[in-house]
């Protein structure tokens, strides 16, 4: 999911750090989500959003979509 990567990079945190903040089992789990190899559940998206300090909707909207809205 590209938006997760964008937000993580903006905050200058590693996959391992986001994984820790989100309470995920391993950084590998985060890698699989970011590369699209794994589709996260809604509860997992909520944990990632919390870890990034954003709303779940922010993970599902691109920067361009936010600028147009």
Q: Quick one: CA dihedral 59, 62, 65, 69, positive or negative?
A: positive
- Which secondary-structure segment (H or E) carries 21? helix 15-22
Average pLDDT, the chain: 89
Q: pTM of the prediction?
A: 0.86
Give the pLDDT mean for 58-66. Answer: 72
What's the whole-number mean pLDDT along residues 55-60? Answer: 92
Which CATH number goes with the domain that contains 42? 1.10.260.40
> What's the number of domains the chain is made of?
1
Q: Calculate the dihedral angle through the C-alpha atoms of 39, 44, 46, 49, rounding to the nearest 10 degrees.
A: -70
Its domain, for residue 42, covers: 2-68
Q: How far is CA 67 from CA 7, 18, 39, 40, in A?
A: 15, 25, 26, 25
Look at residue 66 in the predicted model and tell me its pLDDT. Answer: 54
Q: What percent of the chain has pLDDT over 90?
A: 74
- 11-to-4, 8, 41, 42, 66 alpha-carbon distances in Å: 11, 5, 23, 22, 18
**Model pLDDT, residue 27:** 82
Q: Is the pLDDT of residue 62 over 90?
A: no
């Amino acid at each position: 999911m590209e938006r997760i990567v964008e937000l993580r990079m903006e905050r200058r945190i590693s996959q391992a750090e986001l994984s820790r903040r989100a309470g995920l089992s391993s950084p590998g789990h985060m890698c699989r989500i970011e590369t699209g190899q794994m589709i996260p559940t809604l509860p997992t998206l909520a944990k990632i959003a919390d870890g990034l300090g954003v709303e779940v909707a922010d993970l599902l909207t691109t920067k361009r979509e936010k600028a147009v809205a």
